[in-house]
Structure 1
């Protein structure tokens, strides 16, 4: 089932109650925003090599740190499918040989969920707060989002639309899994891009992308790129968009806006089946539909 909305014009509900959905890797956009708020407040630095590491915060946020990704481990996916108890952080890092960098930081690009676990730890260390408290204080409350929370156990997903993954344990997402209404995902991106939380220079840093080359099979990107916790690029219909796609067992989410148009709404789509490219296309279709209805501006 596919749900879509433009800003907060449609709310997924059941029996009059708003339904939360898993934000999957759109959570990375929120984590990156929290880290940039700490940069704004001079509690973190984007380009200072982190203690006992060879990479910087900027390289972590843009997947340029040289780290492996546990999503590449067949045993990880088998364990999730079996319903095994999640590995500890330490076991996961050992299984992925996380200490062995795959390339010199900054010299290449490879998507890494482990990198965002490191950012999570950095935020928790600098604030002295666990991730949920930090995200609420730094991002969610300032942007007036009241129904987003961090899922920490299977019990936290009982009222969440998980599709067929109704026994999923969110601890398998090592950087953290936010859940919340679909319309609040669109609102978060809209208010973030409005520039009230981050100063112009840091918002510019966030949108400055590393080009990832050509198109992605089955997906609507012709010029994909990645910024700081945000996907930035051009689509098949030549729309310049920014946002993030996420996916996990049972569902996909895509949240985007046209960054070439200051009046563009933020559009979100969520699906409990199908292909990730279809969810992205639906969100992007809504973005483009709005642009064309307003004279192409």
Structure 2
């Protein structure tokens, strides 16, 4: 606890950056317009956002309708953050390791019986989604059993005893089940409920006063979850019965409180610095591939910036939390619908407003990648191919038949009138993903390209489709 208190004191003593800039009226107008437009486009009732700039919260604002009884959303209302909770569960395990109560490299069998692969699965593999335990909720809807209350042990009994989907460490596959097992381990070694431990070690020290178990954040005083069936009307949805998200996604909080946690991450405060580094260190699989995931967070690049991020889905709620540590910035978006992409659309548009402009080096790198993609496209439509630009996987994909199909179909279109990058780069499976648009008179094509990270990256994917 002494180390925690000293870390917190260091956080509070940090001076506000002399260059810290509040949201200007012009920026506020752009943000308001972007959020309002996105909610309308995707038919989402409300959004609550928080923005961190230069290591401090510069905006916390809500838009739209929180519920049928709360026609005006307010920033002090807690929204269900679902899988954004995973980073807190992982942080609890890291802190318990600091206390000498467990080791992340211990086998699960040391703490819990009755889990498939318990002798082979390490605790850290539960947190990195590399355990092989089958996910109990991969669906984007409530299945029948979710209408009845459940306990964490019942989830483990039903899904955690199934045969492993793969040998631990050999693949990455998102698994809520793994986090339920991790939560039970945390409770066993700490001797208290997971939420109680998090309140004591993280939430209260950071002044995160809005945090609740999402099962209790239901009713007249809280945002209502909504959804749509296909393109039908927006309707309130029935929440899942209690217990279904637990350590995998049980938390409800305001956007501003989640932003306080992001500030601690940026400043390496509250948790020891090596814990933050451990959480953000992406896990390598046994074949050496980078999973792009640490312990409860995705880690990669977006638009040339290092980003630590996660999303969350609960019944009727979607959220995204993007942290840009090198820019001392973060963007939190919480929405009360689990239909549509308003949450990611808002986060992208807000980033365009509040993040510093790219340096000339960043712009030059983007231009260089676009030029290399155009060169590869031109080779393919001419029936040529420089295999030095391809990974072994992509070289394998481009069989003689595939190359012939590319050449014949693309050459028939003539000379492109344009070739441009679309959207922002993202990380997937250890590769940087990009999209390009190729225009011709009267039509356009879309290219999905993956490249390696680092200097002189090769192409891992290069697929061309009608836009």
TM-score of the pair, normalised by structure 1: 0.82
**In structure 2, what is the equivalent of residue 204 of structure 1?**
277
Is the alpha carbon distance of 1:284 and 1:231 closer, same or farther for their aligned partners in structure 2, counting shifts above 3 Å? Answer: farther
Which one has more relative contact order, counting CA pairs under 8 Å at least 6 apart? 1
Cα pair distance change 1:276/1:134, threshold 3 Å: farther
| 2:35 maps to 1:35 | no
**Among 215, 225, 245, which residue is 2:292 paired with?**
225
1:240-259 alignment, distance < 5 Å? 240-259=306-325
Cα shift at 1:11? 3.7
Alignment partner, residue 32 of structure 2: none
Q: Secondary structure at the match of 2:355?
A: helix
> Which of these residues, 163, 171, 183, is aligned with residue 120 of structure 1?
183
Which of 178, 181, 187 is equivalent to 2:260?
187
Contact 1:12/1:182 (<8 A) preserved: no
Task: Describe the SS at the equivalent of 1:270.
Answer: strand
* Corresponding residue SS for 1:183: helix
| Aligned: 1:161 with 2:223 | yes
Question: Structure 2: which 5+ runs fail to align?
Answer: 1-45, 64-71, 226-235, 363-467
Aligned equivalents of 2:89 and 2:187: distance in 1?
11
- Local SS of the residue matching 1:118: helix
Q: Does 1:148 align with 2:221?
A: no
SS in 1 for 2:356: helix
What's the offset of the Cα at 1:253? 0.5
The equivalent of 1:67 in structure 2 is 133
| Aligned mates of 1:61, 1:189 — CA distance in 2 | 19
Look up the match of 2:228: none
Which residue of structure 1 lines up, in the alignment, with residue 195 of structure 2?
Answer: 132
Q: How many residues align?
A: 279
Tell me the CA shift for residue 48 of structure 1: 2.1
Distance 1:190 1:86 in 2: 35
User: Does the 8 A contact of 2:172 with 2:291 survive in 1?
Assistant: no
Single out whichever of 267-276 and 59-68 deviates more from structure 2: 267-276
The partner residue of 1:3 within 48, 67, 77 is 48
User: d(CA) in 1 for partners of 2:212 and 2:279?
Assistant: 23
Instruction: Indicate the SS of the match to 2:274.
Output: helix
Aligned to 2:243, the other structure's residue is in SS state helix
CA 1:73–1:210 in 2, change beyond 3 Å: closer, same or farther?
A: same
Give the distance between the partners of 1:17 and 1:239, measured in 2 at CA: 28
Partner of 2:62: 12
Q: Aligned with 2:224: secondary structure?
A: coil
Q: What RMSD in Å do the two structures reach over aligned CA positions?
A: 3.0
Q: Residues of 2 paired with 1:74 and 1:15: CA distance?
A: 25
What do residues 207-245 of structure 1 show as CA deviations (whole Å, max 9, x unaligned)? Answer: 111479xxxxxxxxxx9821101111223x333211210
Which stretch shifts more, 157-166 or 246-255?
Answer: 157-166
Partner residue of 1:291 out of 355, 358, 361: 355
Matching residue within 140, 147, 165 for 1:102: 165
- Distance in structure 2 (CA, Å) of the matches to 1:71 and 1:20: 23
8 Å contact kept, 1:23–1:180: yes
Q: Which sits farther off after the overlay, 164-173 or 115-124?
A: 164-173
Instruction: Please give the TM-score of this superposition, normalised by the length of structure 2.
Output: 0.54
